[in-house]
Each structure stands twice: as structure tokens, then as C-alpha cells.
């Protein structure tokens, strides 16, 4: 078994060979913090972190997944195909609505 490292909490998650079938996107959900990410597209971590709320336009002031979680954001997930951010989540204000 191989493992990938959660981009949020750095927890090691066991997975099948990440190099096998590398053309397939594989979604992983971290058991520790709940962040989901595609582990065959790890290049997103080379880009600066950017976040947007799925329900409003909040998030550009957040600098890391850890900061987002501490601020009360939920449902954080890698979103490399978004035009305005590379992470998507639900901000504390929208979560309470």
C-alpha cells in the first residue's frame, strides 16, 4: 500500500498505488480533518492557496486550509478547475444560514 498526505492536516492516508491508473482522478477524504482532494493532481499544492465559499464570494482573505478550518469553514475541498480559486468550502456565515 502507498499513502498520500492530506494537504490540510498532513495526516497520512493509505491508498492503492497512486501511480497506477494515473489518468484517473481519485478522490480521497481525510479521516482526520474531513478535507477531500484528488491525489493524482497534487500539483495544486504548488499554487498559492485561494479559497471561495460555495454560497457567496467570501474567502479570498484566507491563506491556508488550516486557517479556514480555524475560522469555522466547513466542507473544504480541492477545486483545481475553478476560475477564481483552487479550494472551495462553506464559510461560517453561510453555514449558519
Q: How many domains does the chain have?
A: 1
For residues 40-50, average pLDDT: 54
pLDDT in tens, 5-14: 777 777 767 6
User: What distance in Å separates the CA atoms of residue 80 and residue 54, rounded to the nearest whole number?
Assistant: 14
Whole-number Cα distances in Å, 11 to 17, 18, 24, 34, 43: 17, 16, 23, 11, 18
Q: Is the overall model pTM greater than 0.85, yes or no?
A: no
* 65: phi then psi, degrees, rounded to nearest 5: -60, -35
What is the distance between the alpha carbons of residues 36 and 88, in angstroms, rounded to a whole number? 10
DSSP assignment letter at 54: S
Tell me: the pLDDT tens digits for 16-28?
654 555 545 578 8
Range of the domain at 55: 2-96
Amino acid at each position: 500500500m502507498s499513502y498520500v498526505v492530506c494537504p490540510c492536516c498532513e495526516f497520512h492516508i493509505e491508498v492503492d498505488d497512486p501511480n497506477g491508473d494515473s489518468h484517473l482522478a481519485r478522490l480521497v477524504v481525510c479521516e482526520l480533518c474531513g478535507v477531500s482532494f484528488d491525489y493524482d493532481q497534487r500539483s495544486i499544492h504548488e499554487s498559492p492557496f485561494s479559497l471561495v465559499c460555495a454560497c457567496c464570494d467570501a474567502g479570498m482573505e484566507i491563506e491556508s486550509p488550516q486557517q479556514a478550518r480555524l475560522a469555522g469553514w466547513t466542507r473544504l475541498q480541492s477545486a483545481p478547475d475553478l476560475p477564481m480559486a483552487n479550494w472551495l468550502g462553506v464559510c461560517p456565515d453561510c453555514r449558519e444560514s
